[in-house]
Amino acid sequence: MCGIVGYIGRREAAPLLLEGLQRLEYRGYDSAGLAIHARNPGLKSAKAAGRVRDLESRLPKRFSGTTGIAHTRWATHGAPDDANAHPHLDATGRVAVVHNGIIDNASDLRARLAADGVTLASDTDTEVLAHLIGRSTAETLEARVREALGHIEGTYGIAVLHAGFPDRIVAARNGSPVVLGIGEHEMFVASDVAALVAHTRQVVTLDDGEMATLTADDYRTCTTEGSRTAPAPETVEWAAESYDLGGHDTYMHKEISEQADAVDRVLRGRIDDRFATVHLGGLNMDAREARGVRRVKILGCGSAYHAGLIGAQLVEELARIPADAEPASEFRYRNAVVDPDTLYVAVSQSGETYDTLAAVQELKRKGARVLGVVNVVGSAIARETDGGVYVHAGPEVCVVSTKCFTNTAVAFALLALHLGRIRDLSVSDGRRIIAGLRRLPEQIAEILRGEEEIRRLAAEYAEARSMMFVGRVRGYPVALEASLKLKEVSYVHAEAYPASELKHGPLALIEPALPTVAVLPDDDLLEKNRATLEEIKARGGPILAVGHERQEKADHTLVVPRNEPELDPVLLGVPLQLLAYHTALTLGRDIDKPRNLAKSVTVE
């Protein structure tokens, strides 16, 4: 959930490190810092609480050096202040470490170091690693890092400088992403390719238990036990411009506006008109294996979990396979029965979400077949699973997910259609769903053209201290995601319930001061949903409906185009993303960097 960037080469490191941190700031933004090998032997470091711009304003004019590491932090251990910002140094100031992850046995190690007379300067778990490396007497920096990691329990992605080894950076990974960037007479290391693509698109992704040594002209990798490895470089498909604002005021607005093109990308090259199905070669599962699936279990966290709920409904409706979704963070801690006939699907925008990755690893240990639905090629979940579907949403920089959520829901429609046509879904129904999929990009564009109406409504509802979101069956996952979006980005309290559950308790909350957003797809439950509106209206509750036609009992209705009923949730969520965005804008929130949140949750 923090950002790492490192550089070694012939250029001045500090400007490159600051640029990389700015591109990674969505991963952590409560403090930042950097350390470089100075031209005079030794290390120089600077760090500051706050944003990268606060760090930049504190840098001395003379901060020269061609090798350095930097970090932007999302606090886990210790308050977000200068002392707890990374990099952390050892007692001599000759070792600097930046670290993503959590060291589980940090308390024991801190106590042991303190007993040996070491004065700890921060409240962080990371500092112990700097001291352990600094106290090692091994001959090489790699050996010193390896020795220190032998004392560590937990997760880490690290980069290390040592004043005694000015020609190298050592990096290591266990549970937190580390990517190497290969340049011309220069090398980079980062926790995310976003920090690299302005300078190189040739990358190497480290596996768990792998280390790397970077020099200006080369790199080499090995396991943390010392055995050499040879990972092949890959070409990143996203260009540096993909991470620019492109004329928008915020990344969230940009990414909402990109959804028509993003959905077109996830469909491109996958539709098979001849057999009324889709090609998903990445599943690595033939028709016989697909027919053997007796249940589908979808695992994800946050927005990925909500997309999984939509996916489970699609699988049941189109493939007639029992399916459900569960938060990966809960699944991994219960003693779940792992059925060999169940297909497990792990969902993650980043492909690095720790709770989801841990669930995948537990499932693989028990012999389950696991697919991944992820956005980032070569990510940990993509590598650990047996196959899967890339959602091709493009980079998503805003902390809250919008276009990736939408593309994930569409990817599940593709998976459900694929499974359905292998089983009992008719050709005519396959063609109907394909026609609906092809209509989605233009229908999304149509919704986005109505942004001004949504802006006006957001200004009207922004003063509410709390909001209720309700939906039934297909509408319920949309209500959950819309509620989450509003909470994340505007800090307005919101709750989501199945509309059928309203009268079983939550109806007690309804009053004139509590607006309700009702998601009303035009399906066979429409009249029951209208009855829910009657219940709310009878108690004086304001109603904003989202559906395919104006609702008499609603104070306002956001009308979205009709698609096939199974695909309507994809469209119903889009205006509610804009509602959350404009509510946050009205309230003056920091939209791309909501408080307390980070983009890629790589810790527990």
Domain extents in the chain: 3-243, 245-445, 450-604
- pLDDT of 515 > 80? The answer is yes
Range in 122-126, 409-413, 493-497 with the lowest mean pLDDT: 122-126
Q: From residue 88, how far is each of 70, 100, 506, 582 by CA, in Å?
A: 10, 12, 49, 39
- pLDDT of 604 > 70? The answer is no
Question: What pLDDT score was predicted for residue 600?
Answer: 67
Q: From residue 55, how far is each of 22, 47, 572, 595 by CA, in Å?
A: 11, 6, 42, 19
Question: Quick one: pLDDT band at residue 469, thresholds 50, 70, 90?
Answer: very high
Question: 335 or 9, which is more confident?
Answer: 9
Q: What is the CATH number of domain 450-604?
A: 3.40.50.10490
- 6-38 pLDDT, tens digit per residue, is 999 999 999 999 999 888 877 667 889 999 998
Question: What pLDDT score was predicted for residue 74?
Answer: 76
Mean pLDDT of 42-49: 90
Q: What's the fold here for domain 3-243?
A: Glutamine Phosphoribosylpyrophosphate, subunit 1, domain 1 (3.60.20)
Q: 251, 397 in Cβ contact below 8 A? A: yes
Mean pLDDT of 494-502: 93
**CB burial class (10 A; 0-12, 13-18, 19+) of residue 476?**
buried
Question: What pLDDT score was predicted for residue 63?
Answer: 86
Q: How many Cβ atoms are within 10 Å of 417's Cβ, its own excluded?
A: 28
pTM (predicted TM-score): 0.88
Outline where DSSP puts E strands in 215-358: 219-223, 228-229, 234-235, 271-272, 277-278, 295-300, 323-327, 342-348
Q: Which of 254, 297, 485, 599 is catalytic?
A: 599
Task: Give catalytic status of residue 301 as yes or no.
Answer: no
What rounded mean pLDDT belongs to the chain? 93
- 338-375 pLDDT, tens digit per residue, is 999 999 999 999 888 889 999 999 999 999 999 999 99
Phi-psi region of 250 (alpha: psi -120 to 50; beta: other; left: phi over 0): beta
Question: Quick one: pLDDT band at residue 461, thresholds 50, 70, 90?
Answer: very high
End-to-end CA distance of the chain: 10
Mean pLDDT of 175-185: 92
Question: What pLDDT score was predicted for residue 28?
Answer: 67
**CB burial class (10 A; 0-12, 13-18, 19+) of residue 226?**
exposed
- pLDDT of 248 > 90? The answer is yes
Question: Quick one: pLDDT band at residue 475, thresholds 50, 70, 90?
Answer: very high
Q: What's the fold here for domain 245-445?
A: Rossmann fold (3.40.50)
Question: 469 or 230, which is more confident?
Answer: 469
| Cα angle 361-363-369, degrees, rounded to a multiple of 5 | 115
- pLDDT of 40 > 80? The answer is no
Q: What share of the chain is helix, strand, coil (3-state, %, to 5)?
A: 40, 20, 40
Inter-axis angle of helices 475-490 and 568-586, to 10 degrees?
A: 20
Q: Do the first three CATH levels of 245-445 and 450-604 match, i.e. the same topology? A: yes
Question: What pLDDT score was predicted for residue 542?
Answer: 96
- pLDDT of 77 > 80? The answer is no
DSSP state of 83: T
Task: Give catalytic status of residue 404 as yes or no.
Answer: no
Question: What pLDDT score was predicted for residue 27?
Answer: 67
Mean pLDDT of 169-181: 93
Question: What pLDDT score was predicted for residue 480?
Answer: 98
- 107-137 pLDDT, tens digit per residue, is 999 999 999 999 999 989 999 999 999 999 9
Question: Quick one: pLDDT band at residue 60, thresholds 50, 70, 90?
Answer: confident
Mean pLDDT of 473-494: 97
- pLDDT of 76 > 80? The answer is no
- pLDDT of 396 > 80? The answer is yes
Q: Which of 2, 222, 301, 404 is catalytic?
A: 2
Question: Quick one: pLDDT band at residue 1, thresholds 50, 70, 90?
Answer: low
The neighbouring-strand residues paired with 35 are 45, 69
Token readout for 354 is: 């720790």
Question: Quick one: pLDDT band at residue 602, thresholds 50, 70, 90?
Answer: low
Single out the residue of 111, 461, 415, 135 nearest to residue 281, CA to CA: 415
Question: What pLDDT score was predicted for residue 603?
Answer: 61
Question: 239 or 247, which is more confident?
Answer: 247
Q: 330, 285 in Cβ contact below 8 A? A: no
Question: What pLDDT score was predicted for residue 316?
Answer: 98
Single out the residue of 589, 595, 601 nearest to residue 350, CA to CA: 601
By percentage, how much of the chain surpasses pLDDT 70?
Answer: 98
- 539-579 pLDDT, tens digit per residue, is 999 999 999 999 989 999 999 999 999 999 999 999 999 99
